[in-house]
Amino acid sequence: MSFLKFSHRLIITLACTLPLTSYAELDENEKQIVKQVEINVPQAIQQIEQAVNINSGSLNIEGVKKVGKLASEQLAAIGFKVEWLDGSAFKRAGHVLATHESRNPSAIKILMIGHLDTVFAKHDDFTTYKQLGANQASGPGVADMKGGNTIIITALKSLQALNLLENVSIKVLLTGDEESSGRPLNLSKKAIVDAAEWADVALGYENGDNNIKTAMAARRGYVGWRLNISAAAAHSSQIFSENVGYGAIYEASRILNSFREQLATQPNLTFNPGLIVGGTNADYDSVNSSATAFGKSNVIAQTVHVAGDLRALSPEQVEKTKKVMQQIVDKNLNGSKAELVFEDGYPPMALTEGNKKLLALYSEASQNLGYNKVVAANPRNAGAADISFAANHVDMALDGLGLMGSGAHTKNEKADLTSLDKNIKKTALLIYRLANLKR
């Protein structure tokens, strides 16, 4: 069966799953938006397939650039000015920045955020798009987040076709390092911060918690941490003695268990030791996230390294947690010494009144289209995302508006294609209404 015939059959199938509605609460322009989106959906599916079939793991520089070129061509075709922001300074491919400037000086400014990269390595065997019946597709990054990028582009394409972008200025930023951020962060995330300082509203097209009934009005921040412990090496028969002490592994155990005892019940807070290595000799390679060690059962461990992350919902919670962790680390067992090092990470995206307002507008658009009410997702149900670098610089921010699915970051990643048409329409309607919002 040809792709066009399959796409036509797919759209008919998807349309049959939608509620019958007269769109009574939509104005005439909004009804035209709905029709225009429906015209554009078959090509949107084709564009998702094209993007998925380009391997673009974060460290596959050429692959990320190819996906960026594809998106750039699609954005340029609808009249956006497109730039490629080179990422060599932070050891990544770079970002796509596309801009549409309204001639109306009071026009609302919207930043739309996606990303070009995936978690899959260059030589992974999971490399192609596959249609799984009418309602699902699989492939690397199909939901996270090449489908989300397509929602952005198709919504804008639909509005542009109807000349409905006249009262809104838009920047689309598709980053090339969301899954593995380039360092230093002040360089790799500079484009997001700069665009956010320009914008009034930020919209993120990650798939959030993969629930079409929710959106991310808040996201937890991410901070990396390292725990380095040293102790006196000696024969195991001398452990616990006054002269030798407890060794590095017992000290690591004390510290990690105290973290759990004192902090595990805090709301929206998690801290995970993801790697631990210890022995007479122990080395941790942070670049490759790997470790080696040598030790014997009759020798007291001299060295331990632990690498972990910390996720919290506010800067205040992050700082309070860091203080408690440091106090625990400082109470060393006899014969040991511990060092706690925090690394740069993602800032939290707080649940602000502006974010709640934007969520309400998005939910209203969904309901006016005959779909479900959209509520705030539990921040613990999704990881960090690029929008966190924008949220503190805009009046309103909302994420999780992309293509729904399951199995992200695994070879079982699937997209729920029934959410494609819906979320394009909801985005297009939201942008149209923000453009005409009295401020």
Question: Are 388 and 292 contained in the same domain?
Answer: no
* CATH of residue 399: 3.40.630.10
| pLDDT at site 18 | 45
Domain count, the chain: 2
Question: Are 29 and 109 contained in the same domain?
Answer: yes
| Separation CA 402–CA 119 (nearest Å) | 17
Check residue 126 and report its DSSP letter.
Answer: -
In the three-class reduction of DSSP (H, G, I as helix; E, B as strand; rest coil), residue 336 is classed as strand
Q: How confident is the model at residue 438 (pLDDT cuts 50, 70, 90)?
A: low
Question: Are 335 and 396 contained in the same domain?
Answer: no
Q: How confident is the model at residue 125 (pLDDT cuts 50, 70, 90)?
A: confident
Pairing of strands 214-215, 375-376: parallel
Q: Pick the residue with more confidence: 287 or 297?
A: 297
pLDDT tens sequence across 222-257: 999 999 999 999 999 999 999 999 999 999 999 999
| pLDDT at site 204 | 98
Note the maximum CA span of the chain: 84
As a whole number, the mean pLDDT across the chain is: 94
| Separation CA 416–CA 141 (nearest Å) | 13
Question: Are 301 and 383 contained in the same domain?
Answer: no
Share of the chain above pLDDT 90, in %: 90
Token pair, residue 115, equals 């990303």
| pLDDT at site 218 | 96
Least-confidence region, from 6-20, 25-39, 274-288: 6-20
Question: Are 317 and 229 contained in the same domain?
Answer: yes
Question: Are 297 and 353 contained in the same domain?
Answer: no
Look at residue 113 and tell me whether its pLDDT is greater than 80.
Answer: yes
Question: Are 113 and 126 contained in the same domain?
Answer: yes
User: How many separate helices (H) and strands (E) can be counted in the chain?
Assistant: 11, 18
Look at residue 5 and tell me whether its pLDDT is greater than 70.
Answer: no
Task: Give me the domain span that covers residue 338.
Answer: 222-342
pLDDT tens sequence across 326-354: 999 999 999 999 999 999 899 999 999 99
Question: Are 155 and 96 contained in the same domain?
Answer: yes
End-of-domain residue from the set 342, 364, 395: 342
Token pair, residue 384, equals 């960090």
pLDDT tens sequence across 153-189: 999 999 999 999 999 999 999 999 999 999 999 999 9
| pLDDT at site 200 | 98
E strands of 240-317, at which residues?
Answer: 270-279, 281-285, 290-294, 303-312
Q: Exposure of 366 by Cβ count < 10 A (0-12 exposed, 13-18 middle, 19+ buried)?
A: buried
| Separation CA 319–CA 340 (nearest Å) | 14
Look at residue 201 and tell me whether its pLDDT is greater than 80.
Answer: yes
Q: How confident is the model at residue 439 (pLDDT cuts 50, 70, 90)?
A: low
Average pLDDT over residues 418-425: 98
Look at residue 418 and tell me whether its pLDDT is greater than 50.
Answer: yes
Look at residue 3 and tell me whether its pLDDT is greater than 60.
Answer: no
> How many residues comprise the chain?
439
E strands of 335-380, at which residues?
Answer: 336-342, 375-376
